[in-house]
Amino acid sequence: MSNAPLLSFTDRGIHCAEGGFFIDPWRPVDRALITHGHADHARPGHGSYLATHTALPVLRHRLGQVTAQGVDYGKPIRLGGVEVSFHPAGHVPGSAQIRVARKGEVWVVSGDYKIEDDGLSEPFEPQVCQHFITESTFGLPVFRWQPQAEVAAEINGWWQACAAAGKTAFLGAYSLGKAQRILTLLDTRIGPVLTHGAVEATNEVMRAQGIALPETLRVTADVSAKSHPGALVIAPPSALGSSWAKRFGSQETAFASGWMQLRGIRRRRAGDRGFVISDHADWSGLLSAIRSTKAENIYVTHGYTDIFTRYLRESGWRAEVVTTEFSGEDAEPAVPE
């Protein structure tokens, strides 16, 4: 058995030398194992990609005709001298924790994850290990999520009020994961659901692979408040307040994000409403996930890393901050109109 750690942290990403691969690397490598399709975890330029079968279509939609292979959840594969398997992370459809094992030494790279079963993504499945690599996007005690059903009632109530007032409701939600989750929460009896092209393109990819989503209509030149009164429009946050949105006339805007928990960010976003809903674990979820792994060593990769790591140490874990280029929920790029 090698004395070197099974995984190491390099300037290109999380590396397994014995297996000949990197996990979610941020610089080009020969073989990349990908936890999910968000841009900070799945980057262009790698020689080959390995992801879950569910994540693969979105990966190809984003990155083009890359050399990529799909894998089933829970199915062990041999890469070099190590065993690798992918397990549900609950973050977005197809997202995975990647388990890497060698003769009893087990590491789990969680990528991004959430504990609550949202009814859309494959529910989080904790993996027992000695070494657990975790995010801390919302690693402060202030971040505690409401049950999803309560948030759904708030969103539908706001939409209903907008429709009654003759306004179009614009809801900012990230194009992969959050937008589709919001769709599953809507009471479509209120009115039609319209989508920005970036959102609808992802919807189409997911529908093509059998993921059930409510009916939506892409916003085109002939779609307006007049043609679709009482509509709710789902768009990337960067599209709200743009000329693309303003042509709908009288409207209210809202943002769906874990960051809406913080009043300062709600004010800076300048929306009419903020709905606290996230595809990342909150404070309690992070701690619950870590406990469930029974890990002895915790590596904190992005978010409130210093504060969260200090809390873990004070609570008895061996924990350290690891510098990466992951960015969490604020990673949505600007979207052209």
pLDDT tens-place string over residues 286-304: 999 999 999 999 999 999 9
What's the average model confidence in pLDDT over 121-144?
Answer: 97
Name residue 289's beta-bridge partners.
none
Report yes or no on 337 lying in a domain.
Answer: no
Report yes or no on 205 lying in a domain.
Answer: yes
**Pairwise CA distance, residues 107 & 101, whole Å:** 6
The one-letter amino acid code at 87 reads: H
- Do 136 and 177 fall into the same domain? no
**Pairwise CA distance, residues 145 & 328, whole Å:** 17
Report yes or no on 1 lying in a domain.
Answer: no
Report yes or no on 28 lying in a domain.
Answer: yes
Q: CA of 34: how far to CAs of 61, 107, 176, in Å?
A: 15, 15, 15
**Pairwise CA distance, residues 50 & 46, whole Å:** 11
Q: What is the pLDDT of residue 269?
A: 67
| Domain of residue 242, CATH code | 3.40.50.10710
Calculate ∠ Cα 272-327-181, nearest 5°: 50
Report yes or no on 3 lying in a domain.
Answer: no
Q: What is the pLDDT of residue 270?
A: 67
| Domain of residue 93, CATH code | 3.60.15.10
- Do 14 and 138 fall into the same domain? yes
- Do 97 and 177 fall into the same domain? no
- Do 174 and 126 fall into the same domain? no
Q: How many domains does the chain have?
A: 2
| Chain segment 318-327, per-residue pLDDT in tens | 999 999 999 8
Domain hosting residue 45, numbered range = 8-142+280-330
Q: What is the pLDDT of residue 266?
A: 62
- Do 138 and 284 fall into the same domain? yes
Lowest mean pLDDT among 14-28, 198-212, 255-269: 255-269
What's the average model confidence in pLDDT over 224-238?
Answer: 96
The residue out of 238, 259, 275 marking a domain boundary is 275
- Tell whether the model's pLDDT for residue 333 goes beyond 60: no
Question: What is the reported pTM?
Answer: 0.94
What does the radius of gyration of the chain's CA atoms come to, in whole angstroms?
20
- Do 74 and 13 fall into the same domain? yes
**Pairwise CA distance, residues 85 & 76, whole Å:** 5
| Chain segment 89-103, per-residue pLDDT in tens | 999 999 999 999 999
- Do 12 and 122 fall into the same domain? yes
DSSP secondary structure letters along 134-146: EEETT-STT--PP
